[in-house]
Structure 1
């Protein structure tokens, strides 16, 4: 019999009012690893009410008091690193070594929030008379609604909880229904850290029954969501009914540009890492690889060798480089995109199929795939794959690489490999993406700022700019 996990509301573990449960499946084995509560409108209302009641006392605590609680939570996450990594692997399917990296990132996010809350500073401006000062204070918003994606089940929760709560807000978190277990374990650590009741609440369930009422709730002051662009557009429209603030981190279609003067070995390593980590299920992944024609053939050979060397297997195996896709639907979506690309003229060099036999029959394993002779007009160049498929596109020069990189409705992340400083400086002006990795693989830092342009979202997360999303200004005309 699988474990049943209740909702975490107002410091207590409570059964869903609807009495329904969702099964959580291990994508590597298809085994049911747990059941979680299927929350609904009444559960959302209870969680928001608890968060609203807790806000008064929590927001009046000093910044250092709140930071101490976040530090305590961070230390418990560090203590439970192996347990959390195992949970992430069991529900999401990423290799255990990558799950450990995710836990470390979550620790870094919590640490940054705790250490930098005192840097949420106000301003003093000269008044309109000699006796007056104008104060611009920064105050918490109130109750935050957070909706997370399935690809980083712990880090995305920490990314939202840390800054929101450190800044004096309270929060209701809806983890993705495919991967809710890491967030629920984090809630157990919230309880152990003795964070006051109602400050952090977790309501599991699907988007229709939990996400929709959370976005629509009149007492939610800001919605922060990580997920797909279509879902983000629906959230933005729904949030307009109550004029709440919205922070959206959505899809990506990162260009990976390799110029003729680049270190080709280094670029090939980074290209493969940035494409096949987490089976390509990362919004910052290398989604389209533009290679200068002078080094195209050499680059193709190098990445082909590296892709062929990848070991796909059980994510608990230390030698595994790539695990399964998260679900059957996700696997089928990727396969159809590959087949469509081939029909449009791309050449299938490696992979392009579901893996079968041995351990593969028990899960959603897709072969690491390489497409060559891809052209800019193909659909796979413009639609997010979110899977282990590398598309190689030949470019004649840097001008064409920049133009084709920008020919995209997304604008989250990009990569550039070159040793030409003038190209790098030009890129800072001309490339229409919120974050760019120059001569390195991907992976944002807690102290950076993770944000996108165009249909990749609104606002951003991490760093001091990310923390400032969780406060609002209050202007005070001060006279004696």
Structure 2
């Protein structure tokens, strides 16, 4: 049985391949840093393409036996895995905070989502359905059947390392696939934690495998491997394009959830206090490191001053500090991320943005160690700014005044992204028009972000392909087969 004390002060973990712990073939390791104080909390293998191939081959060997297990039994095993995670929820929450930096309360919320994704997936075990269609021929029926792809490769982002792994792992396993997870090199331990419990849940060795390492090496090898049947990835638009190109030669099936640039529209009839509270939550949760975050605000001129006064005050009031004390905002995940956000803000200010709240990098006193960035609010005249075009992925938000509903929609749709959007209004006619005119796969009406397990998390445009969650997401882990049954 796999075992590792994930609550230890230091974790020196290995890959999980074929049910056992495995070091990288070349022996190299990656140091994992705590974003709050830059201490090294452990190491994981710096794996190679050879290690990736070993993981895929282990999954290929295990998958036929797993697919032969009745779906309801596969579902029970996934539900048991959810229960085992729930029993150790505080261990996983603290692990998430240590490697990713989100406040402990938010990390506990991520663990709850991790359990929920697996529980929902388990409920789909009795929903693998086909069709029988009448044939044009005598003595014949057409059966539409659903089958697993075989080996599913999961590539996840660092911002929600446990929840994103579970979001993909659960439906893949219930559908009868084996799974190989690339544990992101910044936040690898959460995925290893989940996989280490799989055998205790009754999931056979080799069905769940985890390889840590760098995306350009290990990720590319997993995508290119001829044994990989499907790739599901959450990450940046740039990485998604690279995976799309790499997968093309092998005609691999892709599900890509990429970046977002969510507009936050507040019209003149909105409940201002409710909109401000939602805007704060949707911008600053996880230090703004969520693909559905409030990335740009479009405010009707009649209410813009009142909204911004309250929003800036609420932003200034947020506490920043040690994530284990559950502040309003924890650290950014890395120094590279801090530098990226600063460069976007500097470019926006140079292009004429007005600074309503000057935050920026924090580097002194209690912030001398770690990767800290204080909330920053900008006011812009229009969409012609780098901070409007680029995904910030941090606690920075620009605001633009708009003349009316049509003007707001015009500016909101002026982007290559199409993941999430927000609108606040009490006008029923506008709300009925919104899904036809706002070009995003997920729209939040009069509320903050936070998708639900039974819905569908789906990006349009350059924000991705496919989608996750609910019955539509689960169906994506099964391929269809047409069987012509002739008994003449």
- TM tier, smaller: over 0.9
- Is 2:85 the partner of 1:77? yes
- Is 2:299 the partner of 1:278? no
Question: Would you say the 8 A contact 1:257–1:417 is kept in 2?
Answer: yes
Q: Secondary structure at the match of 1:354?
A: strand
TM-fit CA distance, 1:121: 1.1
TM-fit CA distance, 1:374: 4.7
Moved more, 121-130 or 84-93: 121-130
- Is 2:445 the partner of 1:438? yes
Q: Which residue of 2 aligns with 1:373?
A: 380
TM-fit CA distance, 1:359: 2.0
What is the CA–CA distance in structure 2 between the aligned matches of 1:45 and 1:56, rounded to whole Å?
18
- Is 2:55 the partner of 1:43? no
TM-score, with length taken from structure 2: 0.97
- Is 2:37 the partner of 1:23? no
- Is 2:356 the partner of 1:349? yes
- Is 2:62 the partner of 1:54? yes
Q: Secondary structure at the match of 1:58?
A: helix
Q: Secondary structure at the match of 1:429?
A: helix
TM-fit CA distance, 1:396: 0.4
Show structure 2 runs of 5+ residues with no match. Answer: 1-8
Q: Which residue of 2 aligns with 1:331?
A: 338
What is the CA–CA distance in structure 2 between the aligned matches of 1:204 and 1:33, rounded to whole Å?
15
TM-fit CA distance, 1:117: 2.6
Q: 2:262 aligns with which of 254, 258, 265?
A: 254
Q: Deviations over 1:12-49 (max 9, x none)?
A: 11111110100000000000001001111111111111
Q: Secondary structure at the match of 2:256?
A: strand
Q: 1:227 aligns with which of 208, 214, 235?
A: 235
Q: Which residue of 2 aligns with 1:12?
A: 20
Q: Deviations over 1:200-248 (max 9, x none)?
A: 1000000122101001101101111111101100100110111111110
Structure 1 residues 27 and 187, CA gap change in structure 2 (3 angstroms): same
Q: 2:220 aligns with which of 189, 195, 212?
A: 212
Q: Deviations over 1:144-169 (max 9, x none)?
A: 11111000010010011000111000
Q: 2:406 aligns with which of 399, 417, 424?
A: 399
What is the CA–CA distance in structure 1 between the aligned matches of 2:137 and 2:393, rounded to whole Å?
58
Show structure 1 runs of 5+ residues with no match. Answer: none
What is the CA–CA distance in structure 2 between the aligned matches of 1:455 and 1:304, rounded to whole Å?
31
TM-fit CA distance, 1:301: 0.5
Q: Which residue of 2 aligns with 1:96?
A: 104
Q: Which residue of 2 aligns with 1:87?
A: 95
Q: Secondary structure at the match of 1:204?
A: strand
What is the CA–CA distance in structure 2 between the aligned matches of 1:5 and 1:116, rounded to whole Å?
33
- Is 2:324 the partner of 1:321? no
Q: How does 1:98-113 map to 2 (within 5 A)?
A: 98-113=106-121
Q: Which residue of 1 aligns with 2:417?
A: 410
Q: 2:128 aligns with which of 98, 120, 126?
A: 120
What is the CA–CA distance in structure 1 between the aligned matches of 2:36 and 2:363, rounded to whole Å?
12
- Is 2:397 the partner of 1:362? no
TM-fit CA distance, 1:116: 1.4
What is the CA–CA distance in structure 2 between the aligned matches of 1:374 and 1:202, rounded to whole Å?
48
What is the CA–CA distance in structure 1 between the aligned matches of 2:100 and 2:10, rounded to whole Å?
17
- Is 2:454 the partner of 1:447? yes
Q: Which residue of 2 aligns with 1:265?
A: 273
TM-fit CA distance, 1:2: 4.0
Q: Which residue of 1 aligns with 2:252?
A: 244
Q: Deviations over 1:72-94 (max 9, x none)?
A: 10001111111100000000000
Question: Would you say the 8 A contact 1:138–1:472 is kept in 2?
Answer: yes
Question: Would you say the 8 A contact 1:224–1:246 is kept in 2?
Answer: yes
Q: Deviations over 1:122-181 (max 9, x none)?
A: 001012234211100011111011111000010010011000111000011002100001
Q: 1:426 aligns with which of 419, 433, 448?
A: 433
Q: 1:166 aligns with which of 156, 170, 174?
A: 174
Q: 1:340 aligns with which of 326, 339, 347?
A: 347
Q: Which residue of 2 aligns with 1:145?
A: 153
CA RMSD of aligned residues (A): 1.0
Question: Would you say the 8 A contact 1:339–1:352 is kept in 2?
Answer: no
- Is 2:217 the partner of 1:188? no
What is the CA–CA distance in structure 2 between the aligned matches of 1:214 and 1:416, rounded to whole Å?
39
Q: 1:67 aligns with which of 53, 75, 82?
A: 75
Q: Secondary structure at the match of 1:220?
A: coil
What is the CA–CA distance in structure 2 between the aligned matches of 1:372 and 1:317, rounded to whole Å?
32
Question: Would you say the 8 A contact 1:278–1:323 is kept in 2?
Answer: yes
Structure 1 residues 242 and 373, CA gap change in structure 2 (3 angstroms): closer
- Is 2:470 the partner of 1:476? no
Q: How does 1:450-465 map to 2 (within 5 A)?
A: 450-465=457-472
TM-fit CA distance, 1:313: 0.5
How many residues align? The count is 479
Question: Would you say the 8 A contact 1:8–1:202 is kept in 2?
Answer: yes
